Amino acid sequence: MNELFLQIVKMSLSATWLILAVLILRLVFKKAPKWINVLLWGIVAVRLICPLSIESPISLIPDFAGSDKLVSEWTDDYMEEVSVIHDNSLDYDAAVTAGREPISDGSGGYYVITKYDQLGEPSTVKNTVVPVLSSIWASGVVILFLYTVISYLKLRRKLDTAVLYQDNIYQSEHVSSPFVMGIIKPRIYLPFNLDGQNMEYVVAHEMMHISYKDYWWKLIGFLIFMIHWFNPLVLLAYVLLCRDIELACDERVIKELNNEQRADYTEALVNCSVNHRVNRRVMSTYPLAFGELGVKERVKSVMNYKKPAFWIIILAVIACIVVAVCFLTNPPAKEADPPVPPDMEADSSDSPAKEVDSSFLPGTQIDETKKLSLNDVIILSQNGYDLTWSDFEQYDYTETGSGMYIRVYEIDEHFSLWIGGGQPDKDPMYIYLVLTDDSDTRIDIRDGGVTEFISEHTSTSIQRIR
């Protein structure tokens, strides 16, 4: 279920940009036929339910949303301090035996990432936070589904006493405003207090819903909302879809009416909105009940209706095509840079220094770098836990790691310095001075004892820094 939840989150994230585009286009094409708006929401529905997407250079979906990079980086974040164990370490086989998965370093070697105890699986967002969020998401879907089913059954029970008027039209004392209910054999339900003229226009409106299968589109929209209930823009899209369906249905009915008949039609809308509060409750509990939503907006639309110019229709259709091409596709995937081998025996002459990226690190841009020395390490260690990534900006390093940001500073044939953490804009998790031929022999320089460690593990004469 975790993978399903993450896939839903990815689809919802990418569809968010399409929903924003549709909201803008609804304002731009106010004079276009209302069925254009319904068509645009159909494009949104495709993005929300289709897990596959074609890559296109003209896609307007941001790279981080279209490539799933944002979600992947978030789920791979570690929740605790971890250890990186290479295959030349004595602890490597024990970690693999304990179930840790070997990761290729890109140069023929392997390493594993464990808890700080060097055996357990490290806690990540994916194996700690995601299961909780996926359970909450599934619970929300179930609650919405049960609420809808129970509301539907209650409404059906009230309508058991409905009286057949003619064909598929029924009247009931429990109905305050007209609506259509049903999927296979939809029925029109009317209140008893409708007079002849109002009933004529109301029935014409509801029959138009049935002719265009609007109840199917609203059902699909509600099911999509149930799946993406955590995204407020999807809820907004569903509400606007319902209004646009009603506006499009009004246009179909009134396009053949004269001004006097349109006035009568708007009067029917107003009369049906007397008990609008009750009707809105029916609408919220049962998604297939077509009550009269947004009466004020609909009356204004009917009274101001003018047949759209042909060129406006053409432009609107072209806009729909452009939106589909640009937002139903993802940007081309960028080729990933080859991984830097986390080989502690690598010669610094074969591993050129990486240029410091000022977007990650604070401080001024460093134009030139130099090799880190043991004397530098001793001096820096005196700062203890005040040390940050920026203190090492001026020194040559290589990057490695998977899920963590790790820098390796080659010092000499005996020692290397390893700095690791989540991101360079946060405090390092560790700053290890490590023996090159034995990665398990190390010391965090922030804890002190650096000079003693160096003296113990090398015969080189070290001048003490006072």
Look at residue 338 and tell me if it is in a domain.
no
* pLDDT of amino acid 348: 37
pLDDT digit string, tens, across residues 354-384: 333 433 333 333 445 688 888 888 888 888 8
* pLDDT of amino acid 38: 94
**CB of 446 closer than 8 Å to CB of 431:** yes
Q: Tell whether 391 and 301 lie within a shared domain.
A: no
Q: Tell whether 51 and 113 lie within a shared domain.
A: no
Q: Tell whether 318 and 407 lie within a shared domain.
A: no
Look at residue 336 and tell me if it is in a domain.
no
* pLDDT of amino acid 402: 53
Look at residue 74 and tell me if it is in a domain.
no
Q: Does residue 416 sit in helix, strand or coil? A: strand
Q: What is the total residue count of the chain?
A: 466
* pLDDT of amino acid 66: 62
Separation in Å, CA 204 to CA 198, 210, 442? 10, 10, 82
Look at residue 337 and tell me if it is in a domain.
no
DSSP per position, 355-377: PP-TTTS-SPPPS--B---HHHH
> Looking at residue 172, what DSSP letter applies?
E
Q: Tell whether 440 and 321 lie within a shared domain.
A: no
* pLDDT of amino acid 238: 93
Up-side HSE of residue 96: CA atoms within 13 Å toward CB? 13
Tens-level pLDDT at each residue, the chain (466 residues): 888 888 899 899 889 999 999 999 999 988 889 999 999 999 999 999 988 778 888 888 887 766 666 777 777 676 667 677 776 676 777 777 777 777 776 666 777 777 666 566 777 777 778 888 899 999 999 999 998 888 888 888 888 889 998 888 998 888 877 888 888 888 888 888 777 777 888 888 889 889 999 889 988 999 999 999 999 999 999 999 988 998 898 888 888 788 888 888 888 777 776 554 444 544 454 544 444 556 677 777 777 778 888 998 999 999 999 999 999 888 886 654 444 433 333 333 343 333 334 333 333 334 456 888 888 888 888 888 888 888 888 888 887 755 567 888 888 888 888 888 766 777 888 888 888 887 778 888 888 888 888 888 775 444 434 4
Q: Tell whether 370 and 414 lie within a shared domain.
A: yes
Q: Tell whether 253 and 399 lie within a shared domain.
A: no
* pLDDT of amino acid 318: 94
Separation in Å, CA 352 to CA 242, 376, 419? 60, 20, 18
Domain that holds residue 99: 81-122
Residue where a domain terminates, one of 330, 352, 370: 330
State the pTM of this model: 0.66
Q: Tell whether 192 and 145 lie within a shared domain.
A: yes
* pLDDT of amino acid 434: 87
Q: Tell whether 415 and 359 lie within a shared domain.
A: yes
Taking residue 178's Cβ as centre, other Cβ atoms within 10 Å add up to: 25
Calpha distance 151→461 (Å, rounded): 83
Continuous H helices in 29-91: 34-49, 63-66, 69-75
Q: Tell whether 206 and 112 lie within a shared domain.
A: no
* pLDDT of amino acid 59: 85
- When divided into structural domains, the chain yields a total of 3
Q: Tell whether 284 and 360 lie within a shared domain.
A: no
